Amino acid sequence: MSPIPTGRLFKTDEGGDLVLTRTFRAPAEDVWASITEPERTARWFGPWEGDAAPGRTIKVRMLFEEQTPWYDMRIDACDPPRRLAISSLDEHGVWHIEMLLTEADGTTELRFVQHLDSVDGIGDIGPGWEYYLDMLVSSRDGSAQPDFNDYYPSMRAYFQKLTQ
């Protein structure tokens, strides 16, 4: 069965916020570890190295991309276990990302937000984040890892339509 896109786009004065959520039956501290500890991020995104602190830059290896490149990511804010804000600059532009965790009754919601300067290219960006967040889910629950080909290009039209 093909995954169903969940992303939403909220227009802002600066462009838009692409928002995706995932819910986990786990405390916020455990989900926080999955998005911040290098041995756990390696399971769904890639490991990182460096001195992780607000204002510092770490190197992240994108294990599930062609040629597994390393990228610099700046930690803009870190409020464990509630908020992590990071940014990076690459050939595709500047990426501003926040991961916000809220916990209630033993369930934690991860709200992933990419702050976009422009909604151009959202048809390519959205499916990638759906894939990575589903990789996070599979890394936590032991289910089979998703296949990126099930996300792109099939989800492209869904995300492009969000801009209309």
Do 88 and 73 meet the contact criterion of CB atoms below 8 Å apart? yes
Name residue, tokens 């990302």.
97
Q: Is the pLDDT of residue 93 over 90?
A: no
Dig out the tokens for 103 from the structure.
């916990």
- Domain housing 20: 8-159
Question: pLDDT tens digits, residue range 128-138?
Answer: 999 999 999 99
Please compute, for residue 88, the number of CA atoms within 13 A of its CA located in the half-sphere on the CB side.
16
Q: How confident is the model at residue 139 (pLDDT cuts 50, 70, 90)?
A: very high
Dig out the tokens for 37 from the structure.
């500890």
Residue 54 counted as domain residue: yes
Residue 164 counted as domain residue: no
Question: pLDDT tens digits, residue range 97-121?
Answer: 999 999 999 999 999 999 999 999 9
Residue 60 counted as domain residue: yes
Which CATH number goes with the domain that contains 84? 3.30.530.20
Question: pLDDT tens digits, residue range 9-34?
Answer: 999 998 999 999 999 999 999 999 99
- Supply the mean pLDDT for the chain: 95
Per-residue pLDDT, 67: 87
Residue 124 counted as domain residue: yes
The domain total for the chain is 1
Transcribe 67-117 into DSSP letters: T--EEEEEEEEEETTTEEEEEEEETTEEEEEEEEEEEETTEEEEEEEEEES
Dig out the tokens for 143 from the structure.
């289910």
Greatest pairwise CA separation for the chain in angstroms: 42
Whole-number Å distance between alpha carbons of 120 and 134? 23
